[in-house]
Structure 1
Amino acid sequence: MSKNYLIGIGAAVIIIISAFLPWLTVESKHLVFTGVHTVGSSFGEPGKLNIMLSVIAIVFFALRKMWAQRINIFITAFLIAWTLRNFILFARCEMGECPHKEIGLYLSLFGALVAFFAVVTGKNKPSNA
C-alpha cells in the first residue's frame, strides 16, 4: 500500500474523531456544539455524514482497484464540499453574535483536504478488475 493511501486513511480517521470534538462555542448561551451533538440549535447533525463518507473513503483507500480510486475521488470531493458547507454554516455570525470556532471544525476541514489530495496524488497500478 502506498504512503498516500495510508495518509488518506489517517486523514479519514481524523475526520471521524473530529466529529466528536467541539466545533463551536456560543458563550452567551453556554452551548458547545460538536458534529454529532447540536442540541439547542437548528444545525442538524452534519458530523454523521462526515463519519459515513469517511468510512466509505477508508474502504476505497483499502481496495487497490482503479475503479475504487475513481469512486474515492468523488467521495472525497463530496466530503470537502460537505465540510466546507459545515464550516460556513457553523462559523457565521447571527444577530450580532459571532460564535467561537473550535478545533474540531478546523480538523474536519484539514482532514477532508488531506484525504482528497491523497487520492488525487496516489499512484495505483491499473488492474483490469
Structure 2
Amino acid sequence: MKTIGIHHIAIICSDYERSKKFYVDVLGFKIIKETFRAERDSYKLDLLINDNTQIELFSFPNTPLRVSNPEACGLRHLAFSVENIEETVTDLKLNDIDTENIRIDEITGKRFTFFKDPDNLPLEIYEV
C-alpha cells in the first residue's frame, strides 16, 4: 500500500452552529459543501484546509463526550501547520480562545502550542 497524503479528518461536534463558526470564522477553513441529512438529523460540513486536505464536520444528536483528554486510546490531537505561531496565538486570543504557553519540540526544535475546539477536542498549532 502506498499513501500519498491525508484526504480528510472527520470530527463529530455537539453544537453544529458553534463548531461551524469556529472552524470557518476563527480557523479560516473554506466551506466546500454543507449537507443536512434529515434521516439522521445530522449535518455534514465539508471544509477545505488546503489544496489536499479537508475536514468533515458532523453533527449527530446525543453524541457521547470524549473519554479522556488527550490520553485516550485513538486520535490524540489534530495539528495544523502555521507560518507564524505568535500571530496565530494572537488571532486565537482575539477570538477568546485560550492557548497553552508556546513550547519547543525537543526533537525538531520547532515551536508549538495547544488549544481546544468548542467540544474540547485538543488542537495543536505547529510552526513550520
- What TM-score, normalized by structure 1, do the two folds share? 0.29
Instruction: Give 1 or 2 for the bigger CA radius of gyration.
Output: 1
Structure of greater relative contact order (alpha carbons < 8 Å, 6+ residues apart): 1
- What TM-score, normalized by structure 2, do the two folds share? 0.29
